[in-house]
Structure 1
Amino acid sequence: MMQNQYQFAMAAPEILLLVLACATLLFDAFSKSDRRHGTFLVSIGSVLLLALLSLWQWNSGVQGNAFGGLYVADPLSHLLKALSCAVVAATLIYGREYVEVRGMVGNGGEFYSLSLLALLGQYVMISAGSMLTVYLGVELMSFALYALVALRRDDVNATEAAMKYFVLGCLASGILLYGMSMIYGATGQLNLRLIAQVISSGNAERLPLVFGVVFIVAGLAFKLAAAPFHMWTPDVYQGSPTAVTLIVAAGPKLAAFVITLRLLIEGLHGIAIDWQPMLMVLAVLSLAIGNLTAIVQTNFKRMLAYSTIGQMGFVFLGLLSGEGGQGASLSLAYGSSLFYVIIYVMTTLVTFGLILLLSRSGFESEDIADLKGLNRRNPVLAGMLLLAMFSLTGIPPLAGFYAKLAVLQALVGAGHVALAVVAVMFSLIGAFYYLRVVKMAYFDEPEGEPASIELGAITRGVMSINSLLILALGILPGGLMALCVRVIESSLRF
């Protein structure tokens, strides 16, 4: 493992991404096209190049610390960076027509450059080896997302959503930073592995350490949209332009999950007895509030926001199921959570992607009622919607079923049988609002004259691959699950 203090080559993905984001902005400044086709192609090319670089580093065994422990390169970071690139590429492809029709790129291609800067923030979060780097990545990603949400300055709903997101996001960042300061005061360290060593040696101040953990868990819960820190999620999801909603809903969840792993599992595993009960409360509240509130929603984006809150409950269940475990059982528990987050993000791309594709000039396909008769208008899109809803429900043989099963198995293996029963009960409640969407798409008559739905070849191909992966990973989940467990074992020390 390379331990040289400065390893600029190790941080090549972040350096290249920053250069490409600036180059995209400069290229756009000289672009004369109102539809910004060139900027779109440069952005897609940049993301694909970055994905290849991360995969090459992974295959080449690039692993170690850089910049005095501020930066970490390991299999977990390489995998999540490649996945984040895939998510951003799919988002840009799905949202291309949407942003062009609504004039979001007519006066400048900031949508594309801000998307790359948000990705840069996710990169920094994923490779964070210190609390300083964690905070730097969170803020870099968050400020790019705030700007994206407010990109349609003439839209009152988007402006309101951006203001709520900014105020609550700054509050959450302050809470997270305050928790980090208390951890530093208790241990005298910012590096996560050094913090773990101080805690294991028994030299940490107990009271400020526990208080710091409380604030850190609260800040992480906000970033993952877990109850009771979920208040921003429905309003931001509904008020944002749908292309931006997809950016907020997908990639940042991967990065937030990684910093949760690094802070709690790697840095603060020595006091797991203190933060595990907090995760239990967050999990149960998220399952209850998310699934029960989603039932009464009529706006599809708002329903999916509450669905996200419920899905994050399962993620926390996977994390807390590692309590008291050793070796393989720990890796399996945390691997099941990683698998769950990946499947959730993959399904989110389909659901919000469908909203983007069904929207047209002057019409936002945001209400659940807008999906009525979708099977008559476009059976292929209706089939994709069915796969996504069934996967979120947890119906076999789709990937969502195996993701839920893996978490429940880890829970039962850790002795949390009662929690597993609670999770199953709320999943059954959640089945109601997911299946209601399928019922409207297949059995309800469309309101008014059905509008034809035309998709470009690239968009149709990417959406088809995205949907088929949900099915394929449900039938053959072993490879991805084994990969998740392997990267956890090779990357985290607990």
Structure 2
Amino acid sequence: MQAFDLYAILPELVLLIVTCLLLVLSVYVRENPSSTPRVEQDVFHTPRGVGFVYFFSIILLAYLIFLFVGRMGDVSLVAMNGLFQSDPFSNLLKACSCGAVLVSLIYSKKYLQDRGMFRPDFIVLALLALLGQMVLISGANLLTLYLGLELMALPMYALVAMRHSSEKSVEAAIKYFILGALASGFLLYGMSMLYGVTGSLDLIEIFKIVADPRINHLVMAFGLVFIVAGLAFKLGVVPFHMWVPDVYQGAPTAVTLMIAAAPKLAAFALLFRLLVNTLLPLLGDWQPMLVLLAVLSLVVGNVTAIAQTNIKRMLAYSAIAQMGFVLLGMLSVFDDHAFSASMFYAITYVLTTLGTFGLLMILSRKGYDCETLDGLKGLNKTHPWFAFIGLVMMFSLAGIPPTVGFAAKLGVLEALVDAEHTFLAVIAVLASLVGAFYYLRVVKVMYFDQPDHEITVTGSGFAKGILGLNSILVLVIGIVPAGLMSLCLDAMRRTLLGS
């Protein structure tokens, strides 16, 4: 191992070592018994050491964010004998992923305490899932990509099932595990066929071999179908979306946020690494598949969401439609503006998702989860500030100016028009109009319906402050999107040139 190898994987090493140490040290750290709240049935106390683990996890994540932001000016390098790559693309996505997990933990603390889930193992599993996302984002080899994918998925299965007293959570975990294993099998089988044709696991080497017209195109096409199917499962797009609504609804809201936010960035990175960095010569084979997946996701996701009264289930179908937009941005493969628009869309969608689920957790309390439209009735009459935050998040998801969702959708639509995919742009606009109905329905419930129950706001002042900052960012980036857009464009250009 050379010095630059160690430099490249240093953040992942720090995350892994500190996470394992926090789990072990939590057993030996004593906390003030008077400050440990009781939970649900008033039988169990918050486990010893959880406050210690939580505090140092927040510090660790903040350190990693600054570390990755500082590395964004570095040149692209491939380390660990071609297994791992560090480039501006990966550093930006890793910084955003660490930020998403950091904010998720801040929002989740009170929610987890009230349900007896604020335990060291919850935090450690979240950090291990983040480690898998970081490995996946920087994968330069089929083996690294698959290991990162599994390291991200396995802790998520455990997180969904952590509230084992809930039948819904256990059912959601079983569905998530079975369908996730099926998706991993699809992806692994496609990778094995790719290896069988090219004789290599290295992404750069595969790119060179695939460009040779003498390869067995039929076997490559079959392998590509399995790879795209596996990617579609992980993104949760139609027709591989069946796990998304059940898992979103069945998992505790804190876990749903862990699934809905940072993993989307890792899935986008996997899509980019495999299709653009590796299989670009097979553009004529995988581009029509992405078109079909994107259109189906936009139509099915938005139309089905109209019938939902459970907010988490509605947001699940919304996520399916939003991933359709991300796929549309990947169609203009010879335009780095299109790639950066898709990347910008993924990052800003995660930002909006954090605020949306953060609001749901702050409106939940011990023994009650804010999951239905009825739970938001008359929110403006009792808590106008939080109603405004909900309005900003719904407007952003719907793509209404001046929120960041409008800038993100506009960027993808411009890329489609520039690539002469005008018909797809029209379909995307029409699907967004359908989606605006159920987003605005939430606003109508908050502002115009009469409250039929007591609405209680929980959570620490710090969590509420972060939620307010989240909503302000959604507005500010929507009004002035040039900074983040140029950051995404610069990262994408330098990565493509480096590869």
TM-score category of the 2 structures, normalised to the smaller one: over 0.9
Q: What is the alpha-carbon distance in structure 1 between the residues aligned to residue 288 and residue 222 of structure 2?
A: 14
Q: Is residue 333 from structure 1 mapped to residue 338 from structure 2 by the alignment?
A: yes
Q: 1:291 maps to what in 2?
A: 302
Q: What is the alpha-carbon distance in structure 1 between the residues aligned to residue 392 and residue 215 of structure 2?
A: 49
Q: Is residue 473 from structure 1 mapped to residue 486 from structure 2 by the alignment?
A: no
User: Out of 98, 117, 123, which is 2:111 matched to?
Assistant: 98
Q: Deviations over 1:160-200 (max 9, x none)?
A: 00000000000000000000011111111111111111122
Q: What is the alpha-carbon distance in structure 2 between the residues aligned to residue 473 and residue 51 of structure 1?
A: 19
Task: Give the superposition deviation at 1:204.
Answer: 2.7
Task: Give the superposition deviation at 1:4.
Answer: 6.1
Q: Deviations over 1:237-272 (max 9, x none)?
A: 000010000000000000010011010000001111
Q: 2:39 maps to what in 1?
A: none
User: Out of 185, 202, 226, which is 1:215 matched to?
Assistant: 226
Secondary structure in structure 2 of the residue aligned to 1:119: helix
The AA in structure 1 aligned to 2:94 is: K
> In the TM superposition, what are the counterparts of 1:195-206 in structure 2 within 5 Å?
195-206=206-217
User: Out of 72, 80, 97, which is 2:85 matched to?
Assistant: 72
Secondary structure in structure 2 of the residue aligned to 1:283: helix
Q: Is residue 30 from structure 1 mapped to residue 33 from structure 2 by the alignment?
A: no
Q: Is residue 137 from structure 1 mapped to residue 151 from structure 2 by the alignment?
A: no
* Structure 1 unmatched ranges of 5 or more: none
Q: 1:182 maps to what in 2?
A: 193
Q: What is the alpha-carbon distance in structure 2 between the residues aligned to residue 309 and residue 451 of structure 1?
A: 30
Secondary structure in structure 2 of the residue aligned to 1:9: helix
User: Out of 51, 57, 65, which is 1:51 matched to?
Assistant: 65
Length-normalised TM-score, structure 1: 0.95
Task: Give the superposition deviation at 1:27.
Answer: 2.3
1:350–1:466 contact (8 Å) kept in structure 2 = yes
Task: Give the superposition deviation at 1:447.
Answer: 1.0
Q: 2:441 maps to what in 1?
A: 436
User: Out of 229, 232, 247, which is 1:236 matched to?
Assistant: 247
Q: What is the alpha-carbon distance in structure 1 between the residues aligned to residue 3 and residue 211 of structure 2?
A: 25
Q: What is the alpha-carbon distance in structure 2 between the residues aligned to residue 202 and residue 10 of structure 1?
A: 35
Q: Is residue 358 from structure 1 mapped to residue 363 from structure 2 by the alignment?
A: yes
Q: Is residue 452 from structure 1 mapped to residue 465 from structure 2 by the alignment?
A: no
TM-aligned CA distance change 1:181 to 1:295, over 3 Å? same
2:364–2:456 contact (8 Å) kept in structure 1 = no
2:364–2:458 contact (8 Å) kept in structure 1 = no
Count of residue pairs brought into register by the alignment: 482
Q: Is residue 84 from structure 1 mapped to residue 88 from structure 2 by the alignment?
A: no
The AA in structure 1 aligned to 2:57 is: S
TM-aligned CA distance change 1:245 to 1:334, over 3 Å? same
Q: Deviations over 1:383-429 (max 9, x none)?
A: 11100100111111111011111101110111111111111111000
Q: What is the alpha-carbon distance in structure 1 between the residues aligned to residue 483 and residue 142 of structure 2?
A: 32
Q: What is the alpha-carbon distance in structure 1 between the residues aligned to residue 241 and residue 265 of structure 2?
A: 17
Q: What is the alpha-carbon distance in structure 2 between the residues aligned to residue 6 and residue 480 of structure 1?
A: 29
Q: Deviations over 1:108-131 (max 9, x none)?
A: 411100000000000000100011
Q: What is the alpha-carbon distance in structure 2 between the residues aligned to residue 184 and residue 374 of structure 1?
A: 56
* RMSD between superposed Cα atoms in Å: 1.4
Q: 2:37 maps to what in 1?
A: none
The AA in structure 1 aligned to 2:292 is: V
Secondary structure in structure 2 of the residue aligned to 1:151: coil
Q: What is the alpha-carbon distance in structure 2 between the residues aligned to residue 425 and residue 62 of structure 1?
A: 41
Q: What is the alpha-carbon distance in structure 2 between the residues aligned to residue 474 and residue 223 of structure 1?
A: 28
TM-aligned CA distance change 1:65 to 1:166, over 3 Å? same
1:5–1:65 contact (8 Å) kept in structure 2 = no
Q: 2:486 maps to what in 1?
A: 482
Q: Tell me the percent identity.
A: 51
The AA in structure 1 aligned to 2:485 is: M
Q: Deviations over 1:180-229 (max 9, x none)?
A: 01111111111111111112233432111111111111111111111111
Secondary structure in structure 1 of the residue aligned to 2:211: helix
* Structure 2 unmatched ranges of 5 or more: 32-44
Task: Give the superposition deviation at 1:23.
Answer: 1.4
2:110–2:460 contact (8 Å) kept in structure 1 = no
Q: What is the alpha-carbon distance in structure 1 between the residues aligned to residue 76 and residue 184 of structure 2?
A: 29
Task: Give the superposition deviation at 1:457.
Answer: 2.2
Q: Is residue 403 from structure 1 mapped to residue 428 from structure 2 by the alignment?
A: no
Q: Is residue 384 from structure 1 mapped to residue 406 from structure 2 by the alignment?
A: no
Q: Is residue 415 from structure 1 mapped to residue 417 from structure 2 by the alignment?
A: no
